[in-house]
């Protein structure tokens, strides 16, 4: 297996209860690279949840912005003030849209006195499969050329995108399921070891950790599985 030199875990706080999300954040503090706030938690609680969760770990704000460049740029500017570490946009929106997100986030962060979030391009959702999907490698290359920090890529596409982008791009892989875990609504599923072997830098894991009786222990078990601990 490829040598892992840093914590690769991004834990998805996919729930609508901000207090429950913060309890999980406290339990997982020090055990993860990022905590992911998605649409469910963000729409249930509003932007203030970013500050609450950021007190425990860097926030990966998974809003998947996708609109005309002007709209995405303004939304990213608002996000830039919040202090999130990463923000997702759909790479399918094109180079100008991704660039608008990069510029907007930097502008908002400057006004808020915080570091700008890295923009991460979503290629193909891990719930989708089929021959007619857009090329993940092309989408990833365009996102990176527009100033993105990294891309989200899943399943069999991970190795192809790593080869296309080289070693510098951050590859974030969702749909991670340790052996024997249910796949739920993910189609493009990999085990933690498979994802890292194919070139992943970060692994997005949700229910196998958050629904465990001891989430912190489950996180550390996964880290031991991939050789970080």
Q: Quick check: is 26 catalytic?
A: no
| Beta-carbon count within 10 A of 127 CB | 13
**Chain center to CA of 86:** 7
Q: Which of 52, 64, 66, 74 is catalytic?
A: 64
User: What three-state secondary structure class fits 93?
Assistant: helix
Catalytic positions, written as ranges: 64
């Amino acid at each position: 297996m490829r040598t892992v030199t840093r914590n690769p875990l991004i834990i998805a706080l996919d729930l609508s209860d901000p207090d429950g999300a913060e309890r999980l954040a406290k339990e997982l503090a020090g055990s993860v690279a990022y905590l992911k706030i998605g649409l469910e938690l963000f729409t249930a609680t509003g932007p203030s949840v970013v500050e609450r969760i950021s007190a425990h770990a860097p926030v990966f704000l998974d809003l998947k912005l996708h609109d005309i460049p002007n709209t995405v740029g303004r939304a990213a500017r608002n996000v830039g003030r919040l202090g999130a570490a990463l923000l997702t946009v759909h790479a399918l929106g094109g180079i100008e849209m991704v660039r608008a997100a990069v510029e907007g986030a930097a502008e908002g962060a400057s006004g808020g006195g915080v570091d700008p979030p890295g923009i991460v391009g979503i290629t193909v959702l891990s719930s989708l499969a089929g021959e007619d999907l857009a090329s993940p490698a092309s989408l990833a290359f365009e996102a990176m050329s527009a100033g993105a920090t990294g891309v989200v890529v899943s399943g069999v596409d991970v190795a192809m995108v790593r080869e296309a982008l080289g070693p510098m791009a951050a590859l974030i892989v969702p749909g991670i399921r340790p052996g024997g875990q249910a796949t739920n609504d993910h189609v493009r599923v990999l085990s933690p070891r498979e994802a890292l072997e194919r070139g992943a830098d970060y692994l997005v894991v949700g229910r196998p950790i958050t629904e465990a009786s001891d989430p912190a222990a489950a996180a550390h078990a996964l880290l031991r599985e991939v050789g970080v601990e």
